[in-house]
Structure 1
Amino acid sequence: MEEFRRRNTGIPRNYEKLPSKDQNENGENNKTYKAMAYKPTRPGINKYIDLLREHQDITIPIFFTLLSFWTRFYLISYSNIVVWDEFASHYIKREFYFDVHPPLGKMLVGLAGLLAGYDGSFEFKSGEVYPDNVNYTWMRIFLSSFGAWMVPLAYFTAIELDYSQQSAILVTLFVLLDTAYICISRFILLDSMLLLFTFTTVFCLTKFHNERKNPFSVDWWIWLTLTGTSIGCVSSVKWVGLFATALVGLYTIEDLWNKFGDLSMPKIVCCQHWLARIGCLIILPITVYMLTFVIHFAILIHSGPGDAQMSSLFQASLIGNDFDQNPLELAYGSKITLKNMGYGGGLLHSHVQTYPSGSEQQQVTCYHHKDSNNDWIVKKPREVAWSEDDEIEFVKNGDSIRLFHASTGRNLHSHMIAAPVTTSLWEVSCYGNETIGDQNDYWVIEVVDDLYEKDLQTVRSLTTRIRFRHINIGCYLRADNAVLPQWGFKQIEVTCDKSNNTKDAYTHWNIERHWNDKLPPGPKAKYRSKFIHDFWHLNVAMYTSNNALVPDPDKEDILASTPDQWPLLKVGLRMCSWADDVVKFYLLGNPVVWWSGSLSLVIYLISLTWYLIRQQRKYIDFPSNAQWDHFLYIGKVCGIGWLLHYLPFCIMGRVTYLHHYFPALYFSILMVGFLFDHFTVYLAGKTRHIVFGTCYFLVFAVFWFFKDIAFGMDYPAIEISNRKWLSTWNIVD
């Protein structure tokens, strides 16, 4: 208990207690613990040591920060090849691109390239050698600095969680010397930014928690605002950051619930607390998140490889596309591309490959990239006499048409055969040719509305929303982001929907490109889509693409791993070629850090159960309610924080990799520090120093043993076969 009191009253550990007037000569019945009642146990050996000791709250984090930058920067240019997913060109060239992650991280990568003088010409193909004109070293340094700042943040967070200085140092060492954290931070990747903002979120939350007794003070507002800003930033790098948002949300719900039950609190004050949380923890993060997209759209003003993920109107506003050459009104004989207007919708597409079952006719899909297989020619039914040499005739609302695939010469077709994935709907295929076919090739075009014109009889490029009703079955052409298996190249399934839901955006289409030599170009596009629509459209497309990242049973992914393998560090990840003459990096955590982190979570759960059972039997394990509350508080921050960052990967269907566990790892590290404090609090000073010193040495020794896999090794992997502690680590074979 003496150690606990010292830690929680700010008494230095090299001080001893003096008798006070509240004590008798045997030192009994003393209830006063003040710094004034202590004296140094020994004089300073050296004035500089005394100075460092006096300012250790500053010198210790500075020392570890310097070490952190060294571990992240050491030999950072050792490998001159593109490692894993290093990439940074679209923001430099200002070309619109599509990615499954929000834009903040990629924009910071683009900023690194801009500061490094990168001109955007290098394509960052994995495994390629960096040319002399790409300063990849500076770009890696810029990104690695995010990983370096994780270390002092871990120290200060541990202090804010009321850990002893020894325990705070242990937490700091775990973050500093984890080989996985070091390795992932040394490249042009998003993960160092995701981790840093996760760390800042936890730090700001703990700072705000410690200001709970000073509501609406300046510091209280600062840390509440910074917490909201931080969760906005972490969610803007990767959606994994939403798990940190959930942690803050659960903490806030409990906090407000307790205030709601405090009958001594005036109602106006309770409402002020609610409004403060709504403004700082809901509105502010959403504003930060949306602001990153505002900047994203403002920078990427040129047409690029991600155009097809966006609406046609958005694309029309990009520099470099030729939409202003579109003829305005659709005519028979026109060649067009059709864009699905559902969120995340692609272009109507076909290719020579056939369905492996069902009709076994030619596949029809939606595709998010532009190529000639997206081109269709609008023709009249075969029974109607018509030639492309005839005078121009415009397509009208309610006309029956035939969509002829320009590349393969087949007709868009449907029939009462179940679709391959969404079996409740009908299959859509391509069938026949110019002379062979039947009534199942015909579609009635229905105008839903037009964004700018009231006349709904004509069909216009870009702005008219249309539907295609099958003339025989009465079903509607639809693409709702269901993903085909590998035989369909993971493209979007196109079906024919039996229901007639006019509000279903996935049955809505618009003409994106339009070619017809007989028609003049329409008026220059002056249309610009609204930001909210573009923002929502892009986020749905990101969600859809994330869901499409599912394990492929037909294709082995040697880099993928499953969540059950992570806590026990059963797997590592080769980040580049494993050839003998290549600098190799193996993404594998420090076993001491990972295994002790996982063990700490189990020990905490057992301890919590034990204490609850003993409390039920009226045993008193905690002298004060404050100590019990602190025990529970750590469990909520570290235990629930770990669960929120780990469990979702166990239930989501997408393919997972080792780096997905890195945010969860941090919470287990914080739990280790707490349990060391909790179980060593009654140990004598020397014994406690020995326990912590042994742990310090152990984590450093294991780091040193494994350091080459993080810093890079240019020798054959067989030379580190002694590092293969588990048979599942593919370090050698």
Structure 2
Amino acid sequence: MAASVVKTPKCARRGSTKEQQSKASKSTKDSSNWHWWLLLASVFLITFATRFYKVTEPDHICWDETHFGKMGSWYINRTFFFDVHPPLGKMLIGLSGYLTGYNGTFPFEKPGDKYNETAYQGMRYFCTTLGALIMPMGFDTVYDLTRSHEAALLSAAYLIFDVGLLTLNQYILLDPILLFFMMGSVWGMVKISKATAAGGSYSMRWWFWLFLTGTMLSCTISVKFVGLFVVLLVGLHTATELWIILGDLGQPIVETLKQIACRALSLILWPVLLYTLFFYIHLSVLNRSGNGDGFYSSAFQSRLIGNSLYNASMPRDVAYGSVVTIKNHKTGGGYLHSHFHLYPKGAGARQQQITTYTHKDDNNKWLLKPHNKQRLAKDKLQLLRHGDLVRLEHLVTRRNLHSHGEPAPMTKKHLQVTGYGEAGAGDANDVWRVLVVGGKVNETVHTVTSRLMLVHYLQNCALTSSGKQLPKWGFEQQEVSCNLNVRDKNAHWNVEDNEHKLLPSVSFSVYAPGFFARFLESHAVMLQGNAGLKPKDGEVTSRPWQWPINYRGQFFSGSSYRIYLLGNPIIWWSNLVFLALFVAIFLGNAILQQRRAGQCRADRSEDSANSSTAADVCSCCPEEEPLEVQQQQHSDPLRAAAWLFIGWLLHYLPFWAMGRVLYFHHYFPALIFNSLLTGVMFNYMIQSLPRWLQHVLLGGLLSLIVYSFALFSPLAYGMSGPLANEPNSTMHSLKWLSTWEF
């Protein structure tokens, strides 16, 4: 009798290969621990050696040190200021300066100014230290994603030997602080994934990494709003992990709910509390009046020591004969302002300019007069009421607020607003109707609390701050126009300062807002300021398409000791190559897996037909893999590369949609993800080669990037002599693109 043959299902035969690979992976997981420590120590030493070399040179202000050094000084002096970024980075700069002996008195006026005896070094050391810690975290992140020393080493080398990242790390800037917290967030994200996949949920280590990641996320977005991109990355990764846990039928649904609750606590609630705490510290420390007061509402300013509204007593009611300042009520609105300068030819009638200005000075003061009289009798008191017709005389120039049929200089659909007349006398085009928004007949106008509209009596248009910046002839102040659409909310104003000898004064403290009101207003002002950023004269701006190709750099120091922010071209251009290779390989692999899934289903149907019992039929198609296999994302190179690619996309693509001014340094967060991706993909592509050939290829690429670093390091460490476009320059042979200006 012939022996019966048992046919092994085809899908089971393929599954055995996966099991063997999994066992092999586990057996080699920790076989080279000493190797990891040796490489990590080398990364630390080389990073700190390259970062701290010449860190105190040049001994003058470089690029945006003029802003962030000055803001650090203001924290030390507790002087309020306006900035478009959240406060944590500047607070840390100020704290590092304070702890290292800086007294907050250096003016940080402009790039090139010598520091002389100023103790600036501590702030540079602090920023450089945080920037230097990015590389070890990047090394460990890639190692945890791939379990490959080669991939981790190459990724770290791409970060270490990029002269652009080196330049950005060595100065008193927000960028090294931002990049440190961003990299820390990604590092923590991968550690959580690793601990979860190893079955370490709810252990002390797991909780540690959850809360560390939440802290890093909060700190990232507390330095710059672009930190939101890494928050999105970690959120997507967390959602993916929770989806996998939900699909584990061996676990009760309660396990998924516990995981969601733990991550919501550590990655949402905890970061929000920290973020709020940073703003509480910020608003508590900066309690003295400064040059940024005017960006904020009158009520906000009443909390600032030294501001004219702090503990002020002034009339609650507004009356004819009052000398007032009038502030636009929109977020970040300026004061109604004029000066002796006229509108130029081609910008409407050549009459006196009317603008809004965010700083306080005497040119913001206006005298309130009846529409049919020059002045009231000195002993007569008449309150201003909803619906009254008035004239507003500029106190310094004695010209009246005026509008007529000419188009506004910037917003052509609006009418021009000017200062007109002589010694307070003018014409009928100086008459405005005062309307309290939502007001009733005979309702009196109050200081600060009344929202007003000034509607032109003849033209029936509303006095408006258009938000458009005037050219140099208008001193880059904001345009004031008269809008025929009287419902425009930019036409809302309030009286801030109010002086009148016959009116009784009340304490201004009743208008002072609480913390949460100031917290919300701070965000509205920051977001508006961010959206409206414009380049300064002579400033080199760029567009996102230029960044990955290293099209043009940026001067950090333009004196005889030149520093030029430019990426290492070998690193940047090879990053693009590996980016393209990843996309091609990932798509090809996805197509292949889909084809295999179809074959698996066909095999399963065949096995089912040939099997005598249901138990003989296997179910190992990719969509039915067990949880343990699905959770091994941290050791799957292509899946690891995919997350790094998503990180690159999130930190690069949004800039294409931004209308604000952009600079070359905005690309560096995306560059870090690209560099980590390069290490992962290089290792993935050579792992099937003989070991000796892998080492040769890795050594060759490392030698190339170290050599290119040596060539281009003067850009970061300082150049002198002729520019590169001159044949006798030592850098002439390195000007590979005509757009490089070093």
Contact kept? 2:319, 2:382, Cα under 8 Å: yes
Q: Which runs of 5+ in 1 are unaligned?
A: 1-21, 23-28, 41-52
User: How far is 1:411 from its partner?
Assistant: 1.9
Asked whether 1:694 is paired with 2:700, we answer: yes
Partner deviation per Cα, 1:514-554 (whole Å, 9 max, x = no partner): 334555654363542122222222222222222222458xx
> Match for residue 568 of structure 1?
549
After the TM superposition, which residues 512-527 of structure 1 pair with which residues of structure 2 at under 5 Å, given as runs? 512-517=496-501, 522-523=506-507, 525-527=509-511
How many residues are aligned here?
Answer: 680
User: How far is 1:730 from its partner?
Assistant: 0.6
User: How far is 1:193 from its partner?
Assistant: 0.3
User: How far is 1:486 from its partner?
Assistant: 5.1
Contact kept? 2:146, 2:640, Cα under 8 Å: no
Contact kept? 1:152, 1:172, Cα under 8 Å: yes
How far apart, CA to CA, are the structure 2 residues paired with 1:337 and 1:206? 55
The AA in structure 2 aligned to 1:374 is N
How far apart, CA to CA, are the structure 2 residues paired with 1:471 and 1:265? 74
> Match for residue 538 of structure 1?
522
Contact kept? 2:436, 2:451, Cα under 8 Å: yes
User: How far is 1:216 from its partner?
Assistant: 4.1
Partner deviation per Cα, 1:83-112 (whole Å, 9 max, x = no partner): 111123111111101111111111111112
Partner deviation per Cα, 1:534-582 (whole Å, 9 max, x = no partner): 2222222222222222458xx553x22222121111211111124xxx3
> Match for residue 109 of structure 1?
93
> Match for residue 239 of structure 1?
225
Contact kept? 2:145, 2:637, Cα under 8 Å: no
Contact kept? 1:342, 1:506, Cα under 8 Å: yes
Asked whether 1:429 is paired with 2:418, we answer: yes
Q: Once structures 1 and 2 are overlaid, which stretch shifts more, 366-375 or 276-285? A: 276-285
How far apart, CA to CA, are the structure 1 residues paired with 2:160 and 2:470? 44
The AA in structure 1 aligned to 2:322 is S
Distance 1:623 1:266, change over 3 A: closer
Q: Could you say what the CA RMSD is over the residues aligned between the two structures, in angstroms?
A: 3.3
Distance 1:279 1:476, change over 3 A: farther
User: How far is 1:128 from its partner?
Assistant: 4.4
Determine which of 324, 330, 333 is the counterpart of 2:318: 330
Distance 1:441 1:310, change over 3 A: same
Contact kept? 2:319, 2:384, Cα under 8 Å: yes
Distance 1:623 1:474, change over 3 A: same
Contact kept? 1:163, 1:677, Cα under 8 Å: no
Asked whether 1:386 is paired with 2:397, we answer: no
> Match for residue 45 of structure 1?
none
After the TM superposition, which residues 125-204 of structure 1 pair with which residues of structure 2 at under 5 Å, given as runs? 125-204=109-188
Distance 1:286 1:353, change over 3 A: farther
Contact kept? 2:387, 2:442, Cα under 8 Å: no
| Superposition TM-score, scaled by structure 2 size | 0.84
> Match for residue 354 of structure 1?
343
> Match for residue 228 of structure 1?
214
How far apart, CA to CA, are the structure 2 residues paired with 1:228 and 1:158? 20
User: How far is 1:448 from its partner?
Assistant: 4.3
> Match for residue 17 of structure 1?
none
Determine which of 85, 100, 103 is the counterpart of 2:64: 85
User: How far is 1:672 from its partner?
Assistant: 0.6
> Match for residue 447 of structure 1?
436
Q: Once structures 1 and 2 are overlaid, which stretch shifts more, 478-487 or 186-195? A: 478-487
Asked whether 1:613 is paired with 2:599, we answer: no
Q: Once structures 1 and 2 are overlaid, which stretch shifts more, 619-628 or 339-348? A: 619-628
Partner deviation per Cα, 1:146-171 (whole Å, 9 max, x = no partner): 11111111111111212410111111
> Match for residue 585 of structure 1?
563
After the TM superposition, which residues 20-99 of structure 1 pair with which residues of structure 2 at under 5 Å, given as runs? 33=24, 55-86=34-65, 87=69, 88-99=72-83
Q: Indicate the structure with greater helix content.
A: 2
Partner deviation per Cα, 1:114-170 (whole Å, 9 max, x = no partner): 112222221112234444441112221111111111111111111121241011111
User: How far is 1:281 from its partner?
Assistant: 3.0
Any idea what SS the aligned residue of 1:337 has? strand
Distance 1:438 1:274, change over 3 A: farther
> Match for residue 3 of structure 2?
none
Any idea what SS the aligned residue of 1:561 has? coil
User: How far is 1:232 from its partner?
Assistant: 1.2
Distance 1:507 1:77, change over 3 A: same
Determine which of 663, 685, 689 is the counterpart of 2:691: 685
Determine which of 254, 257, 273 is the counterpart of 1:287: 273
The AA in structure 2 aligned to 1:380 is P
Any idea what SS the aligned residue of 2:713 has? helix
How far apart, CA to CA, are the structure 1 residues paired with 2:348 and 2:649? 44
> Match for residue 462 of structure 1?
448
User: How far is 1:694 from its partner?
Assistant: 1.1
Contact kept? 2:386, 2:441, Cα under 8 Å: no
> Match for residue 365 of structure 2?
375
How far apart, CA to CA, are the structure 2 residues paired with 1:282 and 1:274? 11
Contact kept? 1:412, 1:429, Cα under 8 Å: yes
Partner deviation per Cα, 1:158-208 (whole Å, 9 max, x = no partner): 112124101111111111111111111111111100111111111111112
The AA in structure 2 aligned to 1:368 is T
How far apart, CA to CA, are the structure 2 residues paired with 1:111 and 1:30? 52
> Match for residue 18 of structure 1?
none
User: How far is 1:436 from its partner?
Assistant: 5.1
User: How far is 1:513 from its partner?
Assistant: 2.1
> Match for residue 209 of structure 1?
193
> Match for residue 25 of structure 1?
none
Asked whether 1:298 is paired with 2:284, we answer: yes
How far apart, CA to CA, are the structure 2 residues paired with 1:528 and 1:535? 13
Asked whether 1:730 is paired with 2:741, we answer: yes
User: How far is 1:679 from its partner?
Assistant: 0.7
Any idea what SS the aligned residue of 1:585 has? strand
The AA in structure 1 aligned to 2:529 is S
User: How far is 1:418 from its partner?
Assistant: 5.0
How far apart, CA to CA, are the structure 2 residues paired with 1:30 and 1:256? 26
The AA in structure 1 aligned to 2:572 is W
Contact kept? 2:84, 2:529, Cα under 8 Å: yes
> Match for residue 493 of structure 1?
479
How far apart, CA to CA, are the structure 1 residues paired with 2:209 and 2:360? 47
Partner deviation per Cα, 1:268-320 (whole Å, 9 max, x = no partner): 44444444444333333332222221111111111101111111122122111
Distance 1:76 1:556, change over 3 A: closer
User: How far is 1:37 from its partner?
Assistant: 10
How far apart, CA to CA, are the structure 2 residues paired with 1:164 and 1:644? 26
Any idea what SS the aligned residue of 1:101 has? coil
Q: Once structures 1 and 2 are overlaid, which stretch shifts more, 303-312 or 355-364? A: 355-364
How far apart, CA to CA, are the structure 2 residues paired with 1:33 and 1:632? 18
User: How far is 1:511 from its partner?
Assistant: 2.0
Determine which of 68, 84, 98 is the counterpart of 1:100: 84
Determine which of 581, 599, 622 is the counterpart of 1:603: 581
How far apart, CA to CA, are the structure 2 residues paired with 1:530 and 1:476? 32
Higher relative contact order (CA 8 A, sep 6+): 2
How far apart, CA to CA, are the structure 2 residues paired with 1:455 and 1:511? 19
Any idea what SS the aligned residue of 2:338 has? strand
User: How far is 1:388 from its partner?
Assistant: 5.9
How far apart, CA to CA, are the structure 1 residues paired with 2:406 and 2:80? 39
How far apart, CA to CA, are the structure 2 residues paired with 1:604 and 1:64? 26
Any idea what SS the aligned residue of 1:513 has? strand
> Match for residue 11 of structure 1?
none
How far apart, CA to CA, are the structure 2 residues paired with 1:187 and 1:388? 62
After the TM superposition, which residues 230-269 of structure 1 pair with which residues of structure 2 at under 5 Å, given as runs? 230-257=216-243, 266-269=252-255
How far apart, CA to CA, are the structure 1 residues paired with 2:185 and 2:442? 52
How far apart, CA to CA, are the structure 1 residues paired with 2:161 and 2:734? 16
